[in-house]
Structure 1
Amino acid sequence: MTETLTRVQPPKVTAFSILVAVGASLGGLLYGYDTGIIGSALLFLQDDFGISDDPGLLSVITSITLLGAIFGAIGTGPLSERLGRRWTVVLVAVAFIVFAIGCGLAPNVAVLIIFRFLLGLPVGGASQIIPTYIAELAPKHVRGTQAVLFQVMICVGTLVAYATGHALGTHAAWREMLAFAAIPAVVFLIIMLMLPESPRWLILKSREDDAAQALARVRPAGYDVSAELDEIRSVSEPKTGSWRDLRTPWVRPALVAGLGVAFFSQATGISAIIYYAPSLLALAGFGTSAATLASIGVGVSLLVFTLVGMALLERLGRRQLVLWGLPGAVVVLAVLAMVLPWTAGAGAELSIGLQVLVMICLAGYFAFNGGSLSVMTWLYMAEIFPLEVRGRAVSLCAFCLWVTNFLVTLLLYFAADKLGTGLVFGVLAVVNVIAWLFVWRWVPETKGRSLEEIESSLKAGTFAPRVHIIDAPASDEIGARP
């Protein structure tokens, strides 16, 4: 039997609410920059440190940040339950500043690797806490748009890294490339010090007056926050859940959906393709110059289609956006699998026409996968879990995401080099099919539902794809004054 939920009309979005979302999302820019800039810096630091003949060491320098992100993701959740969402983000900002400068000043390879690992801690921490912080402050009808700003900023950070690497590359200034991230990190820190704490966390800590003040800051003047606070209280208990609470039967549907989305967001290959785009194109028969130029196009297309996905997110919904997008990703990956070589060292010389087709298919992949599954991932993990375990649950999902990212990144280029790029893209096409099936079977819609409505559906056992939502008349608006 299909359950129908009534969705009430939410309050208007204020300029300060937008500032909260944009300011907190700067952590995503730092994430994108710090993971993207190493590609350009490696071209120059390998000569300074005399490691140009050691590809294994170069791979360690590149991937060690992802390893640090695994620990950052799993550790930030419990920290945010204890210190609060805002102060945890502040600590993340401080870590970005300190470790970026440390990378730029590293006197040798060993110190650089240590600081690259430490830099992964705020990268992973940002991915866990920032979408949660934004989701807990945003009005529910724009929660998707505001939380997805984090993903948009990751794309912006990647483009800034490409541009900075190009600008400073003429001077071989790899230290400046790495340390430059400290500048936007300082701006990020200053903004976070001016923003409010999550009212939901404050309710969890029985700080009712502080919660009311925080909520009032991000809602329109004259808006009565009491009804919204009552809704938060109706599903919240003044305690913090434990890791064991994640195993309770009523939380399990959210955990399955969250972990699955986290896993498939990386298993479908998008992050690894971004990291290795120039190398994969070179293996596929592109010249070095063409491959480097094409990688900039990859960054641009990813940003454009992330913005398109962001625009469609609240119109189509999280689930529907992915169900419409992934079939297109399967098609273009299948075409790439047919065009590119299936053997190691094939040395394929692609015709101009086939090179154009490869670029169109890569752009299509970023449109269909990057504009759907990647857009909703961080948002979805931040909104589906009950308040008392949200920090730990999102940490566990982020941990799953970063482990998958690390392993796929570690294996993808090796597999493409030893087995052929065509085979790799064929496997990714199959994984995208499996991801579609998972979303269809296990991922419910959350569009237009408050975090408390989602939690109530979990407790009622109705957190399932069969739930539909209808709009209520404007007179039922939560918080509206009579």
Structure 2
Amino acid sequence: MSVERDSRQASVTGFILFSTVVASLASLNIGWNTGVTNIPEQVIRQCSEADEDGMPSSLCVENNLTWGLAVGLFAIGGLFGGLTAGLAANRFGRRPVLLVNNLFYILGGIVLAVSPNVAMLAFGRVLTGLGCGVSSVVVSTFIGEIASSRNRGALGSMLQLSLNIGILITQTVGLGFDYAPGWRVLLAMTSIPAVIQILLLFGCVESPRWLASKGRFDEAHQALQRLRMGYDIEEEFKEMTRAHRAIESPDEKAQLEDLEQPHHSFGATSTYSVFDLVRGRAGPILRRHLFISIFLHMSQQLTGINGVIFYSTATFTSSFGDSAKYVTIGAVGGLGVIVTAISLMLVDRLGRKKLLFTSALGMALSSTLLVVGSATGTDPLVLVAVMLFVTFFGVGLGPIPFLIVSELFPTNAVGAASSVAIGINYLCNFTVGFVFPFVVSALGNFAFVPYAIIGYIAAVLILLFVPETKGKSLEEITSGR
């Protein structure tokens, strides 16, 4: 067997690319629902008379706290969706969970479109949030398990790229629906990528690693062969299934024990829970990986990305007036897509750790620059700081936390680990969004000082504790090699 035909070093085949794009439709919906209420906020909140059919064209939400909670409940839905997704994906498979999860988007879109009041709008946000939480867990897991070591970083970063594309699309499309009752159509559009994904998922295969973990080796072999079409899969398949196969002889058992540590030697029926990982029952390496995963997802949110977006909108309004929304789309939405696309080309070349460190340090420096610009009233400096912040976020802390969680754990632990990491991500998302206006009120122009401090601390901890996973097989990473 020639080295270049070894499937462990396979390039991106057409079918892998198709499967990745189809899975990423779910994360496109994350981006869509993250930003869908921003542009039409004023028309949704204004007070108006009911139409002839009794449906109000707007919802009359005058209280800022009420609006903030209604919109922010999206993240609470994401919290619960994330916490339950791992268990469901481990039990039923990655593809079936992605299929059923689209019901949250479809039902949520319908509820949002027909909301007669802010309470119903909040319920619709919870439903779409549930879908986004599940998507955050399952998409990264599925892509990480179907990709080869050679291109796992680039493909794994597709989640964040499609998320940013979703934000950009909803900001752009939202300009055409910024009227009452056009916003109802805009909010219902989350159903479109959901329906498309339902149809296309029938053309995808289940994760071969999940199939192997359930003892379905023939199906796993067929799925892997289809994903690696044109490559010899035997060595990769042997490596993938070694820990799951029944041991038939003492010599084989001894050989397996030399290759594997007890913490990740598991059978086809055993699955680790969050408590197993926290208490160390899955071994010290996986417990360490769990805390690293939680730390990275907390850092993604607590370094202040949502605060920067919120603050930039207000700043651009004061500087650019009626053109502010167009500047925001370009400086935040468009730039985010471009930078994340560039990171796809860098992550398998430079590695995860270098990009994460550069990202955290760059975001901290950008926050510092933002404080200086705000304190001196220099709006051009604020604009530069915001664009730098978005750039540094896009190359590291944006995409890589989703990718690296799927790399740090074996098949029977990745569901639990992803669930807790994504759940904490959404909790921090909600916390930052809820607390940020109070931080601005208390600290004024120095509101980004806490985020800068967190960024500097995150950079140091990344340098000290985060392992490099570039070019390693999932089996090598989860064994601590």
TM-score over 0.5 for the pair: yes
Q: d(CA) in 2 for partners of 1:261 and 1:359?
A: 27
| Residue among 352, 365, 385 paired with 2:409 | 385
Alignment of 1:130-169 (within 5 A): 130-169=139-178
The answer as to whether partners of 1:93 and 1:122 remain within 8 angstroms in 2 is: yes
| Count of equivalent residues | 438
Equivalent residue, structure 2, for 1:303: 337
Moved more, 332-341 or 441-450: 332-341
Q: What secondary structure is seen at the aligned counterpart in 1 of 2:353?
A: helix
Equivalent residue, structure 2, for 1:336: 370
Query: Residues 215 and 50 from structure 1, CA distance in 2 versus in 1: closer, same or farther, beyond 3 angstroms?
Result: closer
Q: Structure 1 residue 417: deviation in Å?
A: 3.2
Q: Structure 1 residue 425: deviation in Å?
A: 1.6
Q: d(CA) in 2 for partners of 1:299 and 1:400?
A: 24
Q: What secondary structure is seen at the aligned counterpart in 2 of 1:370?
A: helix
Q: Structure 1 residue 22: deviation in Å?
A: 1.0
Equivalent residue, structure 1, for 2:84: 75
Identical counterparts, % of pairs: 30
What is the identity, as a one-letter code, of the residue corresponding to 1:365? Answer: F
Q: What secondary structure is seen at the aligned counterpart in 2 of 1:206?
A: coil
The answer as to whether partners of 1:66 and 1:406 remain within 8 angstroms in 2 is: yes
Equivalent residue, structure 1, for 2:289: 254
RMSD: 1.9
Alignment of 1:279 onto 2:309: no
Alignment of 1:453 onto 2:476: yes
Q: What secondary structure is seen at the aligned counterpart in 2 of 1:374?
A: coil
Query: Residues 276 and 158 from structure 1, CA distance in 2 versus in 1: closer, same or farther, beyond 3 angstroms?
Result: farther
Q: d(CA) in 1 for partners of 2:190 and 2:166?
A: 10
| Residue among 147, 150, 175 paired with 2:184 | 175
Alignment of 1:285-434 (within 5 A): 285-286=318-319, 288-296=321-329, 297-341=331-375, 350=377, 354-420=378-444, 422-434=445-457
Q: What secondary structure is seen at the aligned counterpart in 2 of 1:446?
A: coil
The answer as to whether partners of 1:70 and 1:121 remain within 8 angstroms in 2 is: yes
Equivalent residue, structure 2, for 1:238: 268
| Residue among 242, 263, 266 paired with 2:298 | 263
Query: Residues 231 and 50 from structure 1, CA distance in 2 versus in 1: closer, same or farther, beyond 3 angstroms?
Result: closer
Q: Structure 1 residue 416: deviation in Å?
A: 1.3
Moved more, 228-237 or 402-411: 228-237
Alignment of 1:212 onto 2:242: no
Q: Structure 1 residue 224: deviation in Å?
A: 3.0
Q: Structure 1 residue 172: deviation in Å?
A: 4.6
Query: Residues 188 and 339 from structure 1, CA distance in 2 versus in 1: closer, same or farther, beyond 3 angstroms?
Result: same
Query: Residues 423 and 112 from structure 1, CA distance in 2 versus in 1: closer, same or farther, beyond 3 angstroms?
Result: same
Q: Structure 1 residue 170: deviation in Å?
A: 4.9
Alignment of 1:7-18 (within 5 A): 10-18=9-17
Q: Unaligned stretches of 5+ in structure 1?
A: 1-6, 342-347, 463-482
Higher relative contact order (CA 8 A, sep 6+): 1
Q: Structure 1 residue 276: deviation in Å?
A: 5.2
Alignment of 1:186 onto 2:195: yes
The answer as to whether partners of 2:7 and 2:228 remain within 8 angstroms in 1 is: no
Q: d(CA) in 1 for partners of 2:72 and 2:11?
A: 43
Q: Unaligned stretches of 5+ in structure 2?
A: 1-5, 47-56, 245-266
Write out per-residue CA displacement over residues 408-431 of structure 1, whole angstroms, 9 at most, x where no aligned residue: 1111122113421x3122221111
TM-score by length of 2: 0.87
Q: What secondary structure is seen at the aligned counterpart in 1 of 2:468?
A: coil
Equivalent residue, structure 2, for 1:441: 464
Q: d(CA) in 1 for partners of 2:465 and 2:243?
A: 23
The answer as to whether partners of 2:11 and 2:151 remain within 8 angstroms in 1 is: no
Q: d(CA) in 1 for partners of 2:157 and 2:76?
A: 24
Equivalent residue, structure 2, for 1:477: none
Moved more, 46-55 or 146-155: 46-55
The answer as to whether partners of 2:77 and 2:126 remain within 8 angstroms in 1 is: yes
What is the identity, as a one-letter code, of the residue corresponding to 2:465? Answer: W
